[in-house]
Structure 1
Amino acid sequence: MKATPKTKTSKHYIPISKTKNGQIFNPNDEIWIFNDISKKHIINFSVLQISQNIKYGLKRIFVWYLQNRAVQHPVNMYNRLKELIQFLFEHYNYDISIITSTHLINYRGTLDAQHEWYLGSLSGFLKKWYEMGYPGVSKDAYSYLNETKFKSNEKGRAVLTMDPYDGPFTDLELENIQSAINNSYANGNISQEDYLLIWLLMVYGSRPIQFAQMKVCDLLSGMVKDNSKEYIIRIPRVKNRKKPRSEFKERLLPPALVKVLFDYRDNIKKTFAGVLDNIEQSPLFPSEDQQRTGEFAYHKSSDTITDQVQKVIDSLNVTSERTGEKIHITPTRFRRTIGTRAAAEGHGELIIAEILDHTDTQNAGVYTQTTPEIIKRIDKAVALQIAPIAQAFAGVIFTDKSQAKRADDPSSDIIDPSIESESNSLGKCGSYGFCGLLAPLACYTCGSFQAWSDAPHEELLITLLKKREELLEITDHRIASVNDNIIFAVAQVVVECQNINARNILEVTQ
């Protein structure tokens, strides 16, 4: 039977409405589409196995939620409700005309302890539906929801267990990501935008939607009392149910990022000169095409930024020392890492909530309960075993020293005077720039390091391990483990040199 079009005189007609963020939509349509800075949201009533009478009441409830809540919340409720209705249709084999307590009890019976929050999160929506007086939820269902306590979504499990796939990164994993990003950018393998986006994510732990809302005007500079310059980034707040870009958190920029970030900003402004009326409103991370209009014209969506981060880091093939596999990357893991590291440094819930821009401390407490997974004791055997997995060494190993860059330049020698050996030269620096970092330790994680296959790397490894043990006796694990990434890089060179020398011996004997 063909549906009757809803006119202004129709019993089930609903006036044209506007969402909280100002998007106009027609509630009488079967499919509602909303575009915001995060992504395209769809609420499709045509796929729900419900009667026309209940559909009218349901649309009325969704109109109220869209007028009073951010779009993401009613969309989440739609997804939870769709699962409930799908279960009821399959169980009873007819379109639902009213949701009863029996329906809810049977549905709850299909949910395990980890997913009971599905119904718990939907409970408020269903109670609001009944309270507004529209058909769809029975009185006994309303009473059941009021009298029943549902298990909530288990918060913080990934953090508390240091989950290797969804929890915070270990110090070693994070250092390997940082080294891989730096080397990849230095070699021209990733773009400036990719480099800056991932570094800002690592430094601030902001959500993708916050990066999606950023504009070039959010990078600020000014003079402070001692006449020095201060550089700030304004990060839009997104969890306060207010209009996008109505509130910001101002954060100091790390000095190492200032020049490259402001150069990048100036290039973005040049790109949008003549495209936007006000180039200060140019997106900091622009989309290649104009998918949106208005305030967020040319802005990427948060989903696009999430995909971008995952794609870039995935291409670097960074391995986790815990799993032996490529590190599983999500923006949330960087955020959890910042909270965990703040707790390890002794900060309390209030400070952690401020760092992560939480509106309260209810989710910050989980970080103070976390004991980071630190390798308390690393001996030579452990270092040599973990080193090939950790992949901390970024340079190359030469058996023929004449093939190295700057082979005839004595100033490029990497030397450790503390090593008592016939030769204390560990290799060559293949870069003509002055990095200003501490050699030889910083060299092992640098892509410009050219290590000799016959150098005393093993002696350096033993020295580093001895110093680590000494620090453990007089300080804490966090300070003692500061050079762990370098230890694994040196150990990796030792292992690879052993393999090279073993192959050479085999070839000679054959």
Structure 2
Amino acid sequence: MSKNLEKEFVMAGSDICPSLPSIVRSKSGIAFDPNRLAWSYRDGVDSVYMDFSGLHFTPTLMASVRLTLIWFAENRAPSTLMGHFSGLKVFALRLQKARVEPLESIGGNDVLIHSDTNDFRTRNLFAFLRRWHALALPGIQDDVVYVLDRKKLRKRETGIAVLTWDPELGPFTPIEQVGIQDALNEAYGAGRLSEEIYLLAWLFIALGSRPVQLAALKVCDVVRTVAADGAESYILLVPRAKQQNPLLRQELKPRALVNQIGRPLFHYAQRVSERFIGEFPDTQQAPLFPFPPQSRYLVSGQGWGRYHRTSESLRRLLVSALDKLSVRSERTGAVINICALRFRRTLGTNIAREGHGVLVIADLLDHSRTDSAGVYVAATPELAMRIEKATALYMAPLAQAFKGQLIDHEGSAIRGADRSSRIIDLRIDQSARPMGSCGSFSFCGLIAPVACYTCQCFQPWLDGPHEAVLDFLLEAAKRYPDGRIAAINDRTLLAVAEVVQLCRSRKDQAHGR
């Protein structure tokens, strides 16, 4: 705390209106003017904005409010500061609603009447009022703490979305997750997604990190090591978040990356580094996911957060990009609701399904305690069902996993004159009857015909043995006692079922049914 601010607190016991310092520095060293009508500045990867114009307070009360907020700015993370202001503002607007004169003090009765224990912001309000009282600033009556000590807040419910497998905010089902990953790879391969968004999305999937953590990454956090035999390995140093220390990059946690993600991420990081030659003495300190060159926010911010995207802009970037993929849920038939938190909840659920305990889950999700991790263990019995044929045929139109084009015969295929384009599997049909044609002219290393049904290049024939493929996959799933292994082909199974239904429908139309 600054010496000037300490002097203001000494004055607080009198009736004199405390004055504000001309400049305040946040915990991370960002300077701002606390006398402005609105506080607006960048602090790391957080964008701080607090507008005081709607608060109808006396000068003394307003000064006390601002001085208390200054304490939070100097001692807590920016998100904590904004949370406390939000809680106070909601409370103050209720309190001053029926008043004409400016509000001059807050008493215990005001807290009893105008605070909502069901509102999540009330916790922030109570913490703010306690700090205000502890600083001995004018405007808050002594009975407020008495009321705070006796007013019970509603217990915060955690893990409901995970436990109920909420289709909007809970973890993705395995079928939904595969659908998102397939759509992501397909869109990137077709040039509809930038490399930045593609890698960012895969980090959310693989690590379950919070947006603030990925927004704080720098080029130097992508580390490659090469063994004596030439084998490469990759580590990402992820800033810890939501810990006691509000300085984001003070503690970095190493997370191993598979080479399929680590290698392209490393080369991407080096290209980002080159873009900032002349901007940083050491370009390895450049942000891994910077604002685009044309952005008006490019040079905003002070300190280590310069050129970094804010956590909110990174979250919006992910959501807007993946929403365009329009992946549908087999549960609802609607486009899957994409948000960063769902990737985090999916990772926690998947770790629990692999049989790991709360300590491992808490460590990989970067929790300081194991309380929240227990929710994932409790949720593991979830959707542990075997997909039967009737279920597959019902769910198939909802999932829309089939991406190809049904054709009447080989002559309608893109490569109809090329007999090597036929998709055949003697395990399914010993007469070698083709399922369809491959419309791709490039090499494919995937296993036909299982991988074909979810590929946009596949052209199934109307008279192909698709029901036999469906029965083959269903029987194969029964051979695995572990449902996790059997579920690997669930999305493919739904794609085959969709082709079966499309064939039935077209044949019915041809016969006038």
Same fold? TM cut 0.5: yes
CA contact 2:42–2:48 (8 Å) conserved in 1: yes
CA distance in 2, matches of 1:327, 1:291: 35
In structure 2, what is the equivalent of residue 32 of structure 1?
39
- Give the SS at the match of 1:151: coil
Matches for 1:239-318 after TM superposition, within 5 Å: 239-240=242-243, 241-288=245-292, 289=295, 290-293=298-301, 294-318=303-327
What amino acid is aligned across from residue 388 of structure 2 in structure 1? D
CA contact 2:27–2:246 (8 Å) conserved in 1: no
Aligned pair 1:450/2:459, yes or no? yes
Matches for 1:70-149 after TM superposition, within 5 Å: 70-108=77-115, 111=116, 115-149=118-152
Change in 2 beyond 3 A, CA 1:242/1:74: closer
CA contact 2:209–2:365 (8 Å) conserved in 1: yes
State the Cα distance separating 1:372 from its structure 2 match: 5.1
TM-score (norm 2): 0.90
What amino acid is aligned across from residue 48 of structure 1 in structure 2? L
Aligned pair 1:363/2:372, yes or no? yes
CA distance in 1, matches of 2:485, 2:357: 19
In structure 2, what is the equivalent of residue 231 of structure 1?
234
CA contact 1:130–1:136 (8 Å) conserved in 2: no
In structure 2, what is the equivalent of residue 491 of structure 1?
497
Mean Cα deviation higher: 461-470 or 190-199: 461-470
In structure 2, what is the equivalent of residue 52 of structure 1?
59
State the Cα distance separating 1:504 from its structure 2 match: 3.1
CA distance in 1, matches of 2:156, 2:103: 27
CA contact 1:216–1:283 (8 Å) conserved in 2: yes
Mean Cα deviation higher: 222-231 or 434-443: 222-231
In structure 2, what is the equivalent of residue 332 of structure 1?
341
What amino acid is aligned across from residue 153 of structure 1 in structure 2? R
- Give the SS at the match of 1:483: helix
Change in 2 beyond 3 A, CA 1:210/1:355: same
State the Cα distance separating 1:420 from its structure 2 match: 3.0
CA distance in 2, matches of 1:269, 1:424: 54
State the Cα distance separating 1:56 from its structure 2 match: 1.5
Mean Cα deviation higher: 34-43 or 343-352: 34-43
Identity value in percent: 38
CA distance in 2, matches of 1:503, 1:260: 49
Structure 1: stretches of 5+ with no match in the other structure: 1-7
Mean Cα deviation higher: 195-204 or 249-258: 249-258
CA contact 1:13–1:28 (8 Å) conserved in 2: no
1:278-319 Cα shifts (integer Å, max 9, x gaps):
322232222123142443332221111111111111111111
CA contact 2:88–2:128 (8 Å) conserved in 1: no
CA distance in 1, matches of 2:255, 2:419: 44
1:302-338 Cα shifts (integer Å, max 9, x gaps):
1111111111111111111222211111100000110
Aligned pairs, how many?
A: 493
CA distance in 2, matches of 1:502, 1:440: 26
In structure 1, what is the equivalent of residue 331 of structure 2?
322
CA contact 1:236–1:245 (8 Å) conserved in 2: yes
State the Cα distance separating 1:195 from its structure 2 match: 1.3
- Give the SS at the match of 1:221: strand
In structure 2, what is the equivalent of residue 397 of structure 1?
406
State the Cα distance separating 1:53 from its structure 2 match: 1.6
Of 469, 481, 493, the match for 2:487: 481
Change in 2 beyond 3 A, CA 1:213/1:387: same
Mean Cα deviation higher: 278-287 or 50-59: 278-287
In structure 2, what is the equivalent of residue 69 of structure 1?
76
Of 21, 29, 36, the match for 1:22: 29
Of 407, 412, 428, the match for 1:419: 428
CA contact 2:401–2:492 (8 Å) conserved in 1: yes
Of 373, 381, 392, the match for 2:390: 381
State the Cα distance separating 1:216 from its structure 2 match: 1.9
What amino acid is aligned across from residue 49 of structure 1 in structure 2? H
CA distance in 2, matches of 1:454, 1:128: 74
Of 151, 154, 164, the match for 1:151: 154
CA distance in 2, matches of 1:273, 1:223: 26
What amino acid is aligned across from residue 187 of structure 1 in structure 2? A
CA distance in 2, matches of 1:355, 1:263: 25
CA contact 1:17–1:26 (8 Å) conserved in 2: yes
- Give the SS at the match of 2:328: coil
CA distance in 2, matches of 1:121, 1:11: 25
In structure 1, what is the equivalent of residue 3 of structure 2?
none
1:18-55 Cα shifts (integer Å, max 9, x gaps):
11011112223332222124342122223212222211
CA distance in 2, matches of 1:275, 1:120: 42
State the Cα distance separating 1:228 from its structure 2 match: 2.1
1:390-423 Cα shifts (integer Å, max 9, x gaps):
1112222222423433333343332211123644
Structure 2: stretches of 5+ with no match in the other structure: 1-7
CA distance in 2, matches of 1:254, 1:405: 36
CA distance in 2, matches of 1:424, 1:346: 42
1:442-483 Cα shifts (integer Å, max 9, x gaps):
221222222222210111101211222343xxx233233221
Mean Cα deviation higher: 37-46 or 354-363: 37-46
What amino acid is aligned across from residue 425 of structure 2 in structure 1? D
CA distance in 2, matches of 1:91, 1:372: 52
